[in-house]
Amino acid sequence: MSQKRAAVLVVNPSRAEAVEAASVLAALLLKADFDLFTISDVSITGVTNSAADNLPAVEIAVVLGGDGTILRGAELTRERNIPLLGINIGHVGFMAEVIRPEISAVAKSVARRTVPVSSDPPDVAIVVPLILATTGLG
């Protein structure tokens, strides 16, 4: 019997568009039999709120927001070696790998494990193009 898959959603709670996108993504990933968690101050059906320190093992973090939210996600994932997929729903979006995609396409990629893999930086498997040294996280 296979182990249930899990993901964490990091969402900008002040952007209604980010919360709505996270809700749609959550519904699709729940149908794909994921356990879902968030460290964000949002309430999404089927997603368990968790403190960062109590977050269980997850296979991917999906960040929905702008660069600030992506930095928060990077801080959460880098020491845990959790792959990170950033989706820009902010104004600037320099760090996002994906800009306003069809959420169903994101869900399919996560479920199929076909999200592009980057080797730069090598300690993060799926990554927004962050240069950790210039963000102060490295």
pLDDT above 90 coverage of the chain, percent: 48
**What pLDDT sits at residue 120?**
44
Class of the CATH domain delimited by 5-135: alpha beta
42, amino acid identity = V
Residue 41 is a catalytic residue: no
**What pLDDT sits at residue 44?**
97
* pLDDT tens track for 2-24: 678 999 999 999 999 999 999 99
**Mean pLDDT of the 66-81 span:** 89
pLDDT of 117 higher than 80: no
Here the tokens at position 97 are 């790998």
Domain boundaries, the chain: 5-135
Per mean pLDDT, which of 14-23, 81-90, 107-116 is the most reliable?
Answer: 14-23
Q: What distance in Å separates the CA atoms of residue 22 and residue 20, rounded to the nearest whole number?
A: 5
From the list 35, 53, 67, 123, the catalytic residue is 67
**Mean pLDDT of the 65-91 span:** 86
Here the tokens at position 8 are 């964490």
Phi-psi region of 10 (alpha: psi -120 to 50; beta: other; left: phi over 0): beta
**What pLDDT sits at residue 101?**
59
